[in-house]
Amino acid sequence: MSMLKRVLHPEVRVLDAKTGLVEYVASDETVDSYREVIRASGWRFSRFARNAPFVDSHNYDCLDKLVGRVVDFKVAGSRLVETVQWAIDVAENKLAQLGWRMTEAGYLKAVSVGFFPLRVLTPWDNGAEGLTAWQQQLAELGLSQQDGPRAIYVEQEQVELSACIIGANANALARSYKAGLMDDEMLEMISLEGAKRDTASAADKAAGDALARQRQREACFLSRLETALKAV
């Protein structure tokens, strides 16, 4: 199982413009575009706390994709709240400088959490125990089976937090383009990513089978993950 990524249109507060501190609501318990819910009480940070990277769009190819660090993270009620320090004190980090400018100007608002799922519930869980656990989660979230999610992550290990463009509203993108902060290539990339998400949504009818296969791989993955974390 690969690392999962979930985008949220968060609340954003600039805490200190001089040092590049921004507070994000990084995740909550609403049903997302994948028809999934991430329980706030399930967030684990044992691996994340050692480094807490803030990166560009889940990209780890080179050092300049590291645009800051998460200096504080906490669960507040049904929300994951994280404070980021953009690396604006590093003059050579041009991407961090650009990201900070766009954030401060109100153009860049979305963040995405990268995480490993540790425990997932679905409506297709077998046995009375699995069904009871699923129904209990729905009740706690105030959701019904009809309008509820197809999966609920009840325990997950955060790996990183990313600044991302996908999910920003069209008006914000238009303003960014007009202001010269985005070029044609960037807008084309956003369009292509949006098409990928639409395709994934159209394939939703196969979600049950995909999740069943995912759960078959889960036991093996979690064993390997546990071994890797102990070795770090």
| Average pLDDT over the chain, rounded to an integer | 79
Boundaries of every domain in the chain: 4-231
For residue 120, which of 207, 205, 47 has the smallest C-alpha distance? 207
Q: How far apart are CA 81 and CA 113, in angstroms?
A: 11
201 confidence band (pLDDT: 50, 70, 90): very low
Q: How far apart are CA 126 and CA 123, in angstroms?
A: 9
The rounded percent of the chain whose pLDDT value lies above 90 is 45
- Who contacts 111 (Cβ-Cβ below 8 Å, separation ≥6)? 7, 8, 10, 24, 26, 82, 161, 162, 163, 164
> Is the distance from CB of 33 to CB of 201 less than 8 angstroms?
yes
SS3 category, 55: strand
What mean pLDDT comes out for the span 15-25?
Answer: 94
Alpha helical stretches, state H, the chain: 94-104, 127-141, 170-178, 184-202, 207-231
32 confidence band (pLDDT: 50, 70, 90): confident
Which tokens hold the place of 1?
A: 């199982």
Which position has the higher pLDDT, 21 or 188?
Answer: 21
Specify the pairing of strand 53-56 against strand 151-163. Answer: parallel
For residue 24, which of 4, 38, 34, 10 has the smallest C-alpha distance? 10
Q: What is the pLDDT of residue 34?
A: 80
pTM of the model: 0.71
151 confidence band (pLDDT: 50, 70, 90): very high
35 confidence band (pLDDT: 50, 70, 90): confident
For the cut 90, the answer to whether the pLDDT of residue 119 exceeds it is yes
Instruction: For 56-71, write each residue's pLDDT tens digit.
Output: 988 888 898 999 999 9
